[in-house]
Each structure stands twice: as C-alpha cells, then as structure tokens.
Amino acid sequence: MAAGRVDPISAINPAKTDWIIKIHVVRIWLMPTYPSTSSNHGIEMVLCDSENNKISDFVKSVFLNKFKPILKEGVVYMISQFSVGQNKGNFCVTSHEYKVIFQFSTRVIPAREDGRIHTYGFEWRSIQSIIAGEVNPSTLVDVIGRVCNISELHQSVAGDSTSKRITNDVEDHERSRISVTLWGKYADQIVEFMSTYTQGPIIIALQWCKIKEYKGIKTLSNSIYASRILISLDAPKFQEFHENLQPDDLISPVNCSISKPVKTNSPADDAFFGLNCTTISELLVIADQSVHCVVVSVVKINAERGCKCENTINNPVSRFKVEVLVVDETDTAYMTIFDHDTSSFLGTTAENLLAMKFTKWSPTPSFTVRHISYNLKLIEKYYVDYTVPHDISHHDVRDDFNTKVLVDLTDVDDTISTHIQSSSKSVSVLEARCLSFFEVAASNDGDTPSTSKKSFDSVSNGVDDNDAHSSGYSKNMMVAKRIKIEKI
C-alpha cells in the first residue's frame, strides 16, 4: 500500500485497480451457499468511510476460509488489491453504482480507529419521501421514528421462528407514518424489548429495509440478512429525535397488542395477509408477476392438462397438478392448483383420480394458484356482494350486432305465450351442475352425467325419452314471454 494514500469510496469505479480505502465494516453477514453443492457461504458487507459514503462488498465462497477469521463487524480496516463490479439486484444495500469484490490477492489490514468514521453509517430517509416515491424502491433505506402501534405477534407455522411477523406503525419528526412488518428474528427483537418496556416514547431505527408497495400504498419490511433494528439506543441521533418530540408524544402510550399470546394461522390463510380482493377481469390485464387474492367459483376441472413424468422411477408417487375453470361476476379464467391444495379441496388423493376423464374446453387465460382457503370468515372479508335491484324497469343489452337496445321489462303481454320449437334460433346455454368425481359417461338419452336431469335439448323439444306420451310431457314445454324491444 502507498504510504498515507487513501481513496474515498465515492470515487471507486472499474477504471483502475489500485484502490486503497480505509473503511469501517458497519454490517457483515453470511450468504446462502451457492451453488447449493458448495460447503462454504459467501460473505457480504457494508463498508463506510470517513465521508459517510457506503459501498457493498462481496467475498466469494471459495475465499471464505481466508477472510472469515479476519473480518469483524465494527472494526476499521485498510483494504487494497480488490476488483470492482456493478451493484445490481432487486434490492441493493447501498446506492453506490459499484461494489467491492474480494480476490485471493486482496489485502485486509486492521487499522486504528480515529473516530472520524461513523459507527453505524446511517443514511436517513424521511417517511414522506418514501411514500411520495422519491426514493429508489430497489435500494434498502434507513428510517428513524417513534413507534405508535404494535400488532399481535403472528406465526404461520408452529415451531418455525422464521414465520413469525409483527407490524409496527412508525412516525417520524414530520408526523408522517408508515407501516413496518418485521419477520423472524426481527419480530423476536421487538417482543424481547416490549417484555421489559414500562413507559415513555419508543424510538426505533430501522436500517436497510425494503420498500414494498401494494395498490399504491408504500410499506417497509426487513430484508432477510442485511437489516438492523435499533431500539431506544443511547446514541446522538436517538437523543436528538427524543428532544424534538412534542409534549404529547412524550406521554402518548403505545397501542400494543403484543402482550397477547402468539396468534398461529394456518399456512394457507396466512398467505392472504395484506392482500385485497382482485376480480378476474382485473387479473387479466395485470402485466407483472404479483400475487393477488380472488374469490371465485369452480366451474370445471380439466384433467387433460396435468403433467406426466416420462422418466422411469421406482415406486412413483402420483401428485396433483390440476387446472380448474373458475368464474366470478366479471369473467372466467383457468387456474392451476398443485398437490397440497388440490387434495384439500377434493378431499382425496391423486391416486384415486387417475382414471377420471373430463371433457375438453375452449381456450381461457390461465393462472397459477399460490394458496387456497375455504375459511368462510376469510371469504366474507374479501367477497363484495353484488346484487341487482329488483325494481329495474329497463335494462341495457346488446344484440348479435353489438347494437345497444333497451328492453322494457314492464311492457309484457301476459296473455301471449309461445312454445319454443326445435327449429327456433339456437340459444347459448351454460349448463351448470355440482362437481362430481364419480366416473360416469354421458348417456344417450339426454340425461346429464352428474345429476341425471334432462339435457337442454330434450327439454326444449318437449320430449321425454322414457315416456314421450306421459302426462309430464306438457311440463317439459318451455314458455317464454314476449318482450317489447325498442332500438335506441
């Protein structure tokens, strides 16, 4: 290293290779093994210099054994002979365009702490700037504020600490509020603090949090590894925030439900947390791969669209991949349901349905089901009851040429009735029935497979195949009232 020379983090770029930086490791964590066959983890760090500029640092898994014993969070180092790469990804820890990448030749030497480098490397963002969309959502952010509300502690899977979550409302010094959802160990940190909390304002700093958005509403959530939660810390920024609180804030109690027992949800129902209901017609025009909740009725099951394994496997196990046709009040769509949810829905296993045969269907847009729930309270929560007023006297419809016509439902001649003959204009009919999973074949006598009721054709022709001359013949005649249609 050149004596006395130190480069600022803000100047780092790939144009040269002989950078020398003096930094404070403000955050360090192990990444999952990659590839999965590797026995070593990668290391990621956040480095901060005396100008409070930060840059991400990545140590490949092959170099883990060399650098892991040396690198410690909270220690100052002189680093040189590293390479520089682009800082890309869905969630970047820092806003720097580039990141530091350690090589085998990289030199790391502990340095003396001179007090000029910030311990935590905070880069505060106002809540209003996050809500207004002024902050890049792909960059993790730091916020500080007063905790106003704390939700119950939820747990999706009993015994799985990573499925715990708790939601807090945080208000900053500008009186702007945002909801923050913390998972796993971060939720435990809130619980642990509240177990000894007595009174007074709770000042919380959330560092390297993800910005999330659903239907235009911005929220925050911890990242899996990088985030750091600091509560009522004895640090200058916390003291400054406390001093600027209004008198009412100093005595305002925290609305807290955390003292209640942990609320355990089923994994399926928990998947609907934070989702609003979407109609099928809205789903058809959504271009991204986001997750949505729909309340639908299953019309049909298509067994021909499953998947078959062509490889030879000893003791194969049949599993579901079922495509269902669903409908709501706006449109229809195909949805694919996999083994667990299908078994729960049908109340049987895939082995019992191997020989089933279903009719083919016409093309309809298809979606993949992430979770399914039959909880009536959950359905009522999302379902919006749509009713048509009974006192409608006029109704807009369109004819075969898409011409708008006005149907006057009040002007009906009740004395005239007309038998519908088989030679009349064909009528488009949706034949509805309960789902049945017994192997049956459509009969030749016009009975429907699942209900043994007469088919539409036999009824409309007024013919009973079993007894065409019986007294029930007249009951099978369909009567239609003549309706006055006025073109408009």
CATH of the domain at 145: 2.40.50.140
Of the candidates 382, 402, 437, which is a domain's last residue? 382
Classify residue 388: in a domain, yes or no. Answer: no
Please choose, from the candidates 312, 316, 332, the residue with its C-alpha nearest in 3D space to the C-alpha of residue 324: 332
CA distance 161 to 138: 27
48 vs 194: which has the higher pLDDT: 48
Classify residue 122: in a domain, yes or no. Answer: no
What confidence tens digit (pLDDT) does each residue in 26-38 have? 999 998 776 666 6
Give yes or no: residues 220 and 256 share one domain: yes
CA 226 to chain CA centroid, nearest Å: 21
Classify residue 1: in a domain, yes or no. Answer: no
Strand partners, 55: 47
Question: Which range is least confidently modeled, 7-11, 207-211, 425-429?
Answer: 425-429
What confidence tens digit (pLDDT) does each residue in 395-440 have? 444 444 444 444 444 444 444 444 444 444 443 344 444 444 444 4
Give yes or no: residues 256 and 138 share one domain: yes
Where in the sequence is the domain holding 439, given as residue range(s)?
Answer: 394-487
Question: Which range is least confidently modeled, 60-74, 131-145, 461-475?
Answer: 461-475
pLDDT higher than 90, residue 107: yes
Classify residue 273: in a domain, yes or no. Answer: no
Task: Compute the average pLDDT of residues 362-370.
Answer: 59
Number of domains, the chain: 4
Give yes or no: residues 146 and 242 share one domain: yes
CB atoms within 10 A of CB 447: 17
Classify residue 174: in a domain, yes or no. Answer: yes
Half-sphere exposure of 21 (CA within 13 A, CB side): 29
Give yes or no: residues 353 and 441 share one domain: no
pLDDT higher than 50, residue 450: no
What confidence tens digit (pLDDT) does each residue in 39-56 have? 778 899 999 999 999 999
Classify residue 201: in a domain, yes or no. Answer: yes
Token digits for 75?
Answer: 């220690």
Classify residue 389: in a domain, yes or no. Answer: no
CB atoms within 10 A of CB 12: 22
Give yes or no: residues 367 and 453 share one domain: no
Give yes or no: residues 135 and 255 share one domain: yes
Q: What's the pLDDT at 114?
A: 77
Classify residue 57: in a domain, yes or no. Answer: yes
Confidence of residue 388 (pLDDT cuts 50, 70, 90): very low
- 280: phi then psi, degrees, rounded to nearest 5: -65, -40
Confidence of residue 309 (pLDDT cuts 50, 70, 90): low
